Amino acid sequence: MHLSDTASAIVSIGFHGLAFAMVLYLISVGLSVTMGMMGFVNLAHGVFAMLGGYVLTSLMKDQGMPFPWALVGATLAVAAASIPVERLLYRRFYGGDELDQVLLTIGLDFMSVAAATYIWGPLQQPLQPPAWLSGPIDLGLQHFPAYRSFLILCGAVLVTALWLSVERTRFGARVRAAVDNLRMAQSVGIDTSRLFMATFALGSGLAGLGGALGADLLAVNPGYALQNLVYFLIVVAVGGLGSIRGPFFAALLLGITDTASKYLAPEFGAFFIYALTLAVLLWRPNGLFGRA
Amino acid sequence: MLGPEAVGSFARRHRYHPLEALPWLVAVAAYFAFPTYVPLGAQILATILFALSADLVLGYAGIVTLGQAAFFGAGAYTAGLLATHGWGEPITGLLAGAAVAALIGLLSGLVILRTTGLTLLMLTLVVASMLYEAVNKASWLTGGDDGLQGMEVWPIFGRFRFDLFGNTAYLYCLIVLFLCWLAVRRLVHSPFGRSLVGIRENVRRMHAIGAPVGGRRLVVYTISAALAGISGALIAQTTQFVALSFLGLDRSGTVLIMLIIGGVGRLYGAFIGVPLYMIAQDRFSTIDPVYWFFWIGLLMVLLVVFARGGVLGLAERLQSRVRSRR
Amino acid sequence: MAFRRVTIECLCAHFALIAAVLPAAAQTIVKVGLISSYSGFVAQSADEAQKAVDLYLKEHVRDLPSDVRLELIRRDDTSNPEVGKRLAQELITRDRVQLLTGIVLSPVAAAIAPLTAEAGVPLLISIAAAGAAIPRMSPYVARVTVTLWQLGYPIGKWAAEQGGKKGYTAVSDFIPGHDSEAAFTKGFTDGGGQIVGAVRFPPNNPDFAPFVQRIRDAKPDVAFLWVPSGPQGTAMIKALNDLGVRQAGIRIISTQDLLPEEELPNMGTAPVGIITSGTYSTAAERPANTAFLTAWKREYGEKVIPDFLSVDAWDGMAAIFDLLKASSGKFTADEAMAFFKSWKNPDSPRGPIMIDPETRDIVQNIYIRRLERQNGKLADIEIATIPMVKDPWKEFNPPKL
């Protein structure tokens, strides 16, 4: 089956947009929950995604680890690294003055830039996917890059697992309770302190996974956290703070708009993304799935 | 402090305290003590004005914004374009910059100030970003990434030329900052300013007592935009250059950081945070051109952990501890 | 008798004192300000250049006359033109430098140019800053690096002459990208080809897939790409590979910025066969290059690879050293400019170079190179040389009188 040029362009845009959306969602969902549940403006969230990318490329390049294992390793490493940050530093500022949180997390962003330069150098870390994931593959309609296809598949599996666990498990129920009404959740006996730690670790781990998988799309370099901050904030704001599903649709909207505008009107840069964000937030100030 | 004492101190708040002359004395002294640092000093003074505009909107009205750079850049490009196209008179250029920035503040405020919290933050960011992209696209006019070149600023009053050593620039920025500061101080201690604090602290109550919340927020947002526009025009005129980065997120973020370091909502946070940050940056990047980011970041983290509310907040706590000991 | 002895001893003591003081008083310290973008999105380029500067100083410090000392003051413009301008101002008024050099970004050079005229302090652009019009902004600016028209125009003409009929350009959307797009377009059309489409992408772009898709859909013979030198090159190559652009029969052409030497190990085998125009390749076999690479490896080891920016900075230091040697460290601004205008180096690692006295800009060989595998590594092999190219843009746009 051969598609006409226009249809082919639409399919391409949808495909690439979806791949980008998966990466954005995996990274941003943790931020949405952190901000919604703990009331903590974590502008350093991108550092965890960046760390995931760095750990993945280091494991593959220096340790020669195969790609799937390196992915797992990166996710676990980032999740583990996030725990002391939460316990020792962030915890003190929950529900507190937002400006303090902004200052703290931006300070951490700055330190991360210098630390990454020191450890890994100023160069971008390229992703060398294994041979079975490189180059184009034929998916019937037309050719698509193999790696992006893998990304979409991976993302779909993770998103489904995440949503199911939030809906069906006790942990998920506790998370939803804490996001809805923290005091009430505490008064029915939920250990919110442990919950925060676990949720933060999960969110950061997912961010690390997103950063690792998306090393192709969002370049892994020392300035990562600050460069991509706007994208993550847009996904969270448009999706709705504290929501788990919201950021997915926001990411989808953002990913497809970004890809479409790059293809159709690249001279306008990111203008359409901002215009879209403006429109959505004026229409729904609490985000697509947010609560008042 | 309760009762008549509190009322008394409240009524006296707007009077000038001798300590308030300190920043200006320091500024004048620095001019004579550090003649080779005068260009840096001029930039610090203009940035203090920028941070002051942010303090007005953030510290007094409680509007958290990541888009102040939009107004800064608007003022800068206005003054810059005038100077590139034959009108290099500095003071009218300054006023034009203020007017354009205020207009953008007014129009964008009408659209976005109905929202609050994270949404408002994102919308301020989005407005600044859209302006950035528009200016970048119009590179035939603005120079795009290369920046605006060929600015020719005339001497002030036909006599005082903007020279290489930055002397005129320093005094120009100092006087403009002083005048704007007088205006802001007046505003803040006026009934209007008090109502802003009320809006920041308890919006529902303000609505309940019939205060025109929306209108007030819009007015202060516009005034703040005008001030930011003036600071942008100052930088443009004294460096005779306007870059696209004037409109960028970095600039909005950095001014916020400098203000938070100094202390928000206390009028003088800008006067402390800006010199502290800019001098630290200058020193750190001379010592360690590659890793100075680390030291600034560490400074910020330590400040938050040990000195909440910025330097002025710390000073307040020390002062009250000293008072309670007596 | 005693009086005489005392007098002679006194005189000897005086002479000894004068002899001791004289060399110190006679030593001339020349201060040069080096402004580079050590932080920001071009930090990688600054790093490559700085290594070359440090190496040159180490290798050649003994070449200076014994009474001349060079003091190099480094400053970071953080990739911001207004910071660069302020730093230049401070270097001139605070540190009293006699020369400015370095500069990575074109906008920084543009911001500094007016200062050079006002203060009478020359600027020798030695890292990049390849905007074509920059030396025209002040009579005290000279450049030893490159202009994008030098890179874009010759290869455009060459591509058309090699049989390319339909061309497509895809460049980063800022001034250097626009320059290279305009240069290639003029060269390609002058050579008889036709440009069927053009696209510009945002400068800090993470993902090239949509733009590469457009190229593929347009089906040109030749696609000219330009990205700023650094990791974007690798990302672009990856996108080209993933979308099978070259398999579809489209020839990829670019400047050396697409394939900087230090990124080649990250690119796998995908870029083999790509043609670029460049001023320097580590694979070049001239003796000056061999000597340069030997010194480099000795200092930095095998894993650190120099690129064209390193050689630019190396040549910049050579020009400055030549000035110091010729003038014994004492020169006015006009004398320095006169020296630079007539400066030649027939033996640079990139081949023969000189500064054009009329335009104060660099004149150098432009090489057409093809990327190939050599000894298990990727290398740009020079397949054609266009000798001593002056900046085409200035030739097409003579100064208005």
Task: Single out the residue of A75, A83, A85, A77 nearest to residue A109, CA to CA.
Answer: A85
The number of C-alpha atoms within 13 Å of C166 and in the hemisphere containing its C-beta is: 10
Q: Determine the pLDDT at residue C3.
A: 47
- Predicted pLDDT at A216: 81
As for how many domains chain A has, the answer is 1
- Is any Cβ of chain C less than 8 angstroms from the Cβ of B73? no
Domain assignment present for residue A262? The answer is no
Q: B interface mutation test: which of A31, A32, A274 has the most B CBs within 10 A? A: A274
Q: Which residue has the higher pLDDT, C82 or A67?
A: A67
Q: Is B47 in CB contact (< 8 Å) with chain C?
A: no
Which segment, A64-68, B21-25, B262-266, C151-155, is predicted with the most confidence on average? C151-155
- Which ranges of chain A have pLDDT less than 70? 1-3, 291-292
Nearest CA in chain A to C270: A135
Do C168 and C274 reside in the same domain of the chain? Answer: yes
Owning domain of residue C335: 26-146+286-360
pLDDT of residue A292: 55
- Do A16 and C210 count as a contact with CB atoms less than 8 A apart? yes
pLDDT value at position C256?
Answer: 92
Give pTM, 2 decimals. 0.85
Same domain for C191 and C119: no
- Predicted ipTM? 0.84
Neighbours of chain B (3+ CB pairs under 8 A): A, C
Which of C81, C105, C53 is closest to C315 using CA atoms?
C53
**pLDDT tens digit string along B289-317?**
667 788 888 988 998 888 777 888 888 88
CB-nearest to A126 from C199, C234, C243 is C234
- Answer whether A217 sits within 8 Å of C268, measured CB to CB: no
Q: Are residues C175 and C259 in the same domain?
A: yes
* C252 plus C386 within the same structural domain: yes
Count of other CB atoms within 10 angstroms of residue A286: 19
Q: Quick check: B308 and A281 CB within 8 A? A: no
Q: Is residue C2 a part of any domain in this protein?
A: no
pLDDT of residue C280: 92
**What is the distance between the alpha carbons of residues A239 and A281, in angstroms, rounded to a whole number?**
10
Indicate the residue of A230, A267, A281 with minimum beta-carbon distance to B119. A281
Q: What is the CATH number of the domain that holds C165?
A: 3.40.50.2300
Residue B263 is assigned to a structural domain of this protein: yes
Q: Is residue C15, in this structure, part of any structural domain at all?
A: no
Range of the domain at A84: 19-121+136-223
Residue C346 to residues A149, C288, C318, C350, Cα–Cα distance (Å): 53, 10, 12, 9
Q: Does any domain span residue A236?
A: no
- C256: in domain: yes
Nearest chain A residue to C265, by CA:
A126
Tell me, what's the pLDDT at C1?
45
Q: Cβ of C214 under 8 Å from any chain A Cβ?
A: yes
C145 pLDDT above the threshold of 70: yes
User: Residues C155, C230: one domain?
Assistant: yes
C39–B147 C-beta distance less than 8 A: no
Q: Determine the distance in angstroms separating the CA of A291 from the nearest CA of chain B, rounded to an integer.
A: 12
- Min CA distance, B65 vs chain C (Å)? 23
Which residue blocks in chain A are alpha helix, DSSP H? 5-33, 45-62, 67-84, 98-120, 146-168, 170-180, 182-187, 192-213, 224-227, 229-239, 246-264, 271-283
C372 is a domain residue? yes
The domain tally of chain C equals: 2
Domain of residue B207: give its range.
20-283
Q: Which residue has the higher pLDDT, B68 or A62?
A: B68
* Contact yes or no for C206 and A218 at CB 8 A: yes
The 3-class secondary structure across chain C, one letter per residue, is: CHHHHHHHHHHHHHHHHHHHHHHHHHCEEEEEEEEECCCCCCHHHHHHHHHHHHHHHHHHHHHCCCCEEEEEEEEECCCCHHHHHHHHHHHHHCCCCCEEEECCCHHHHHHHHHHHHHHCCCEEECCCCCCCCHHHHCCCEEECCCCHHHHHHHHHHHHHHCCCCEEEEEEECCHHHHHHHHHHHHHHHHCCCEEEEEEEECCCCCCCHHHHHHHHHHCCCEEEEECCCCHHHHHHHHHHHHCCCCCCCCEEEEECCCCCHHHHHHCCCCCCCCEEEECCCCCCCCHHHHHHHHHHHHHHCCCCCCCHHHHHHHHHHHHHHHHHHHHCCCCCHHHHHHHHHCCEEEEECCEEEEECCCCCCEEEEEEEEEEEEECCEEEEEEEEEEEEECCHHHHHCCCCC
**What pLDDT score does A5 carry?**
73
pLDDT at A221: 84
By Cβ distance, the residue of A128, A147, A269 closest to C242 is A147
Residue C247 domain flag: yes
Q: How many CB atoms lie within 10 A of CB A118?
A: 13
Out of C76, C82, C93, whose CB is closest to B165? C93
Do the Cβ atoms of B119 and A287 come within 8 Å? Answer: yes
- Identify whether C6 is part of a domain: no
Q: Is B56 inside any structural domain? A: yes
Same domain, yes or no, for C222 and C299? no
Cβ separation A9–C44 shorter than 8 A: no
Residue B118 confidence (pLDDT): 82
| Confidence label for B104 from pLDDT (cuts 50, 70 and 90) | very high
The answer to the question of residue C5 being in a domain is no
Q: What is the pLDDT of residue A205?
A: 94
C201 → closest Cβ in A13, A16, A262: A262
Q: What's the number of CA atoms in the CB half-sphere (13 Å) around residue C376?
A: 0
Task: Look at residue A23 and tell me if it is in a domain.
Answer: yes
**Chain A CA closest to residue C204:** A227
User: How confident is the model over B21-38, as pLDDT tens digits?
Assistant: 888 989 999 999 988 888
Residues of A in contact with B137 (CB under 8 A): 267-269, 271
Q: How far is CA C376 from CA A92, A131, C263, C373, in A?
A: 55, 19, 15, 6
The 10s digit of each residue's pLDDT in C19-35 is 445 444 568 899 999 99
Query: Which residues of chain C have a CB within 8 Å of the CB of B240?
Result: 114
Q: What's the mean per-residue pLDDT of chain C?
A: 87
Structurally, how many domains does chain B consist of?
1
Instruction: Return the pLDDT at C181.
Output: 95
Q: Per-residue pLDDT tens for B152-190?
A: 889 988 888 888 888 999 999 999 999 999 999 999 888
Q: Is A283 inside any structural domain?
A: no
71-100 of A, contacting B, C-beta below 8 A: 89, 92-93, 97-100
pLDDT-based confidence at residue C345 (cuts at 50, 70, 90): very high
Residue C378 phi, psi dihedral angles, 5° rounding: -85, 140
In a domain, A92, yes or no: yes
Domain CATH number, residue B33: 1.10.3470
Asked whether residue A97 is assigned to any structural domain, the reply reads yes
User: Cβ separation of B130 and A271 shorter than 8 Å?
Assistant: yes
On whether both C138 and C259 belong to a single domain, the answer is no
Residues of B in contact with A106 (CB under 8 A): 253, 257, 297, 300
Residue with structure tokens 């990111």?
A: A270
Half-sphere exposure of residue C165: CA atoms within 13 angstroms, side-chain side: 1
